[in-house]
Every structure is written in C-alpha cells, then in structure tokens.
Structure 1
Amino acid sequence: NDLTKDYDDQNHRTCTGGKQNRSTETFFPRISLDPSECSDVRKCMGQKMDKDTPCFSKKTLELIREFGQDNSSLNGHKAVHNNASQTIPWFQIYKKTDCNSESCVLNKPSFRKFAESKGFGSRFLDRELDINFKAYGPRDSTAWLSNRNIDETLQRWAHKFDDFYPCPFTMADFEERKERFATIDMIGVLEGDEPVDLGPEIGIKKRPHKTFGCCLNTDTSRGPGIHWTCIFVDCRGGNEWSIEWFNSAGHPPAVPVIVWLEKTRFKLQHHRKDIKVKIIIVSQIKHQKSQTECG
C-alpha cells in the first residue's frame, strides 16, 4: 500500500519523474539559475539582497557571528560577508564546521549546541531553515525532483503568496486511492474551510485562497514515478476563472484528470454563476528535449 518505492537520505519515501537520466550538458549552460540558498520569502522582506547577503534573520546572524568568534583562533580575520558594517568570520566558521553553505552550518550539531546554550533551540533553527531558505533538493543540477522537493517548494510559495493553496502531490490513481487531490473541496479552498499544510514549522492553517496548485505524477502508486505534470486553478479574475493543465511532454491529460478538470469546473461554475469558468490545456507543444525537465 506504499505510495512510492524509493527512499531519500532522510528515510522518507519518495517519488520522482524522468524515465532515464540522460546527459543534459548541451543545453544546461543556457538555463538561468539562481544559485542562492535564500528563499523568495526572504527576498521579499523589503531589504536589498545580493549574492553576498546572508539568508539568515537578524537574530540568527548575530548567533552565527558569536559562534564564529567563539570558535576562531584568528579574531579580526577579514570576513567574506559584510552586513550592516558587522563582519562575520565565515572562513573560521566553514573551516570549523566543514561546511560550504549557510544551511549546512545551521544543521551542524556543533552550531546547534552553541545556539542552545544561547537560548535558541532546534525549533527556532528549523523555522529559520523553513522560512528563509529554499526547500531541500537538487540545485545547480539536472537531478530529478522528488515529491518531497516539489511539495516543500510549493509550501514556500504559499509562504510568499498567502492566497495560494499548495496541494500535496498525487499519483495517477488518485481517485482510486482517495488522495487529497481527489477529495479536496475547491469551494472550501476558496472560502477557507479546507486546512492547508504550510510545513512543520508553521503547521496547518485555515485561510481563504484564490489560487490552487498541484503536481501529478503519471505513474501509479505502485511505481517509483515516471513523469511530472501540473494543474493550476486561478480564481483571481472578476469576470473569468481558469483551471489550467500543463504537461511539458505536450501530451493531453489522462481520463481521470479530465474527469477532475470537468468536475472542478462544474463546482466552480455552480458556485459563481456570474463568472465564466474555463479549462485551459496550456500547451500541446513538447517543451522538454531530455528526460529531466518535467520536475
């Protein structure tokens, strides 16, 4: 009865997309990627962000500074970053923790023990990772995204856009298994009656939404995953709402998905008779040229 067959490095079951891992070296250099670890939530907090701006909150930044000074034998060493004219001894911190990223430092037992001694426990640091950093997963690579990578990324978007409902991923047999995608009440999503999971550090909330998103895998729950597709419901318009389907392979939706699209359109149209609700198949053109882009 397991949804997936594979495990990640944290012993969570995962599902992926992509039939085979072909080389993508020919087109990968053309892709513009943001190499920063900082989440979009952090970038939208009103402060100027550049490649050298730490992702941490001010409280954690001060902890990091104290940790570096406490563990450094070279006080006054020129820091890599400079924030508000206060230096951070990154050289010493990275050397001491054997890290090369901010998120790595936050996860190190030595730093967590130091933070605990200053009155900041694991929950504070976990929330820091959850809010100010991108979701765990492959970056600067064409490694496949798992269901956890996708769901946690959608949760980050829901932190930034509070009218967005991040529906957990689903497999092709969602109706048979009564997955969340199959049972969710779209009117409840709009009116705030459907609970939304915003991640372990924020928890489950109830709030009204105007948009809804979900990633669907074309494999059944008995398989490890084949290909990712997605659905976006947009109820922001005053005259027209849309239920949009996208598949980077250019294929049309399967019958169970078509039934879901039609059922959802009917519910929304009945809910607001004065607004036109339409289904949009975003593209029938094949966008991906390899086996890794669907995620």
Structure 2
Amino acid sequence: MTGATVGIGVATVLRLAGAGFDVIGTARSQQKEDGLVAAVGARGRSLRTVVVDGAVFLCRGDGRGRPGGGVWALVNNAGVPQAGSIEDVSDEQARHLLEVNLLGAMRICRLALPQMRQRGGGRIVNVSSGLGRVPWPLGGWYSASKHALSALTHCLRVEMAHAGVRVSFVEPGAFATAMLDRAVDDLVAADRGGAVGYDRSRALFGAVNAHVPGPEPVARTIEKALTSPRPRARYTVGFDARLLVPLHAVSPLWLSDWVKHTVSGLPRKAPARAGVVKEWA
C-alpha cells in the first residue's frame, strides 16, 4: 500500500493487518515508518515497510505463505492536493502532483502486474476522489489528476480481466485527514495577497475537516474491494460524495457554476468600472 502512514493509508493498513493480510506499506521517512510499525505492532500484528524518496513506489512481496509467490494485491493511495487557482499553480507544482497522483500510481501498477499474472490473479484498488467527478475551484489540478486516474483504472480493469486481475477504484468524499490541512497550506503559499476566493476556501476546507468523520469508512471499503468475490468497478464512499456526484452529473453547467461560485466566494462577474467601453469580438 502506498501512502500508508497518514489518513486513509494508516487506517487501511491497520484494518488489513488486523484482518490477517501480510501488508507492505510505503513511508516517506524513517520517522513515519517507525510510527506506522509501532501502531500495527500495538495490535499484535507485523508489518513490512519500504522507505521511499520521491514519487516512484515499488514494493515487491517475497511471497512467504502465499501460493505462487509475488504481490497479490496493490492499493494506490499516495496523493497530494496542490490547491490553488489554475493561474497560481506553476508547471513544476502541476508536474509533481501528476507524478504522485497519476503517473506514480500507474507505474507501480505496471511493476506489480507481471507478478499478479504469474500468480494467476490479483487485486488492484486505486484511491481516487469524488472531486475527480465534481471539479472544484482552486483545486482544479487535483480534480484533473483524480479524473485521469479513474479513466486509466477503468481501462486497466478491462485490459487485465483475462489475467484474473480485478481492478477497482474508490471515490472518497470529505473525510478528516491531513489532506485538507495540506490544501489549506497550499492556499496560504499560493495566495498572492488578496487573491479572490482564497480566504473563503481556506475557511471552507478548515470547517469541513473539523466536522467530517475519520477515514475508517474508506478503509472498510478498500477491504471490501480486496475481499469480495465480485468486487465492484467503483465504490463511492461518504454521504457528500454519494449525493454530489450524481447531482453534478445531471445538473446543467450554469447551475453547477452558480453553486461553486456561491460556496467558494468567487464572484461571477467582473466589477463595473467607469469609463470602460465594452468591446465586441
């Protein structure tokens, strides 16, 4: 499991380890690795960890106790938010987000698939987001990465069915994790001083994080995707995601835009200025 040391990741690792899975988790530092190992050990379970640097993740199981050997299941959870307006997010920041949220996930899928094919089957669960289908202002790059991850996961599911590899993706709504805190930090760093909508968005993200439940429902859903005899292609988790995703799909764009303008505090029209002559293209 990638992104194993915080939020959805640590909740899922604890749940899978408690269910008897032989878990390998990735960590970005020795300190995070030690904390995760201690948390799992406190529940009487063992955990193998891999400390990684950068956005390239590779975990190879040694197959101990597993018929056929090799990796049986992969959960791609690692992600970064990179909040900010399209105008304020640099090319470097956008590339880093896509490397972690999209390319890194697909890279480890490619690395794990030969082992799954050799075993005669396996499971892949990619953690997407409800924002992949409901793009949100000041989070456009994050929504784009998750939308692309969902599309690639759909294709991978069809491509690998003949090899017995079941592929699903999970779309969480808002849950209390460090992701929203990092998004607030991104907005603070990207704010050029009085940028429109930033103050309202920071307050919104903070309020949401303080009132939504923890990530345990997502961990339960990931376990279900790994253990169900017939896993679903898509799991949407959280009341907000189950409500907003279908509403967004059937709502006209003008209504969707109005809601997003209203909630985010972004004005719909430019302020009137005296002496300005309207130009017609």
Q: TM-score, normalised by structure 2?
A: 0.27
- Structure with higher Rg: it is 1
User: Which has the larger helix fraction?
Assistant: 2
User: Which has the larger strand fraction?
Assistant: 1
Q: TM-score, normalised by structure 1?
A: 0.26
